Amino acid sequence: MWAGSSGARAAPPRRFAPWPRPQPPARAFAWWSISTERPLNVSMPRQREALMAVGRIVGPHGIRGEIKVKILTDFPERFAPGSLLYLGEEDFQREVISSRPHRGMLLVKLSGLTDRTAVEGLRGKYLFIPREEAMPLEEDEYYEDELVGLVVETMEGELLGELVEIMWTGANEVYIVQGPRGEVLIPAIAQVVQEVDLETGVMRVALLPGLVDWE
């Protein structure tokens, strides 16, 4: 999802392809978060590595070690057989052995997990890719975690607060900002979002009449 000096656009539609598909080349697919989850700095036993969540485990499926995964990416090809993913706080990657659609989610089998007992305790854990494997974005495009945490102010320099969450609607995203005057909902549209400066950590907006009810 993204916004920039030229305005904001809704995120592209989620892409689902027939499954299974041929194994993709490494790093061939972009990652685009469609949830409000922020990429996490997971504490590894031997290192700290910036990771981006592409799926969340909902629970086990069947008796052969498959897991039900809620997709947190517009590119479910991330789960194609042969792909490598970090599981939870493990410091090594597991290979995707198989994956298939199931009721709006994916059923995924990972290497080393051969039966239901092995996956029973994985509910709620995330599947990650390294941040550096995310596809570079075009100008004025941003990953969600680059926007969450920005200081939001008006074009006149008045502080509105911190962008704490992104709400997804049918027409456009809405930035939820918490500040000294409470919560402000900022629509991610061209007339409002004027500038995003990642270097200084500031988003500047033009408030339309009626957008805030301050006396």
pLDDT in tens, 88-124: 989 899 999 999 999 999 999 999 999 999 999 999 9
Give the per-residue pLDDT at 116.
Answer: 96
Is 141 inside any structural domain? no
Do 38 and 84 lie in a common domain? Answer: yes
Integer angstrom CA distances of residue 197 from 38, 79, 104, 136, 160: 19, 33, 36, 17, 16
- 55-92 pLDDT, tens digit per residue, is 999 999 999 999 999 998 878 899 999 999 999 989 89
Q: Taking the CB of residue 182, how many other CB atoms lie within 10 A of it?
A: 10
Is 75 inside any structural domain? yes
Give the pLDDT band (50/70/90) at residue 214.
low
Bond into 25 cis (ω within 30): no
Do 75 and 8 lie in a common domain? Answer: yes
Do 26 and 89 lie in a common domain? Answer: yes
Integer angstrom CA distances of residue 37 from 2, 57, 144, 167: 15, 14, 8, 11
Do 12 and 108 lie in a common domain? Answer: yes
- Percentage of the chain beyond pLDDT 70 is 76
Return d(Cα 31, Cα 40) in angstroms, integer: 15
Say whether pLDDT at 2 is over 50. no
DSSP 6: T
Say whether pLDDT at 37 is over 70. no
Pick from 11-25, 130-144, 153-167, 182-196: least confident? 11-25
The number of domains in the chain is 2
pTM of structure: 0.60
**What is the domain extent for residue 165?**
148-205
Say whether pLDDT at 163 is over 60. yes
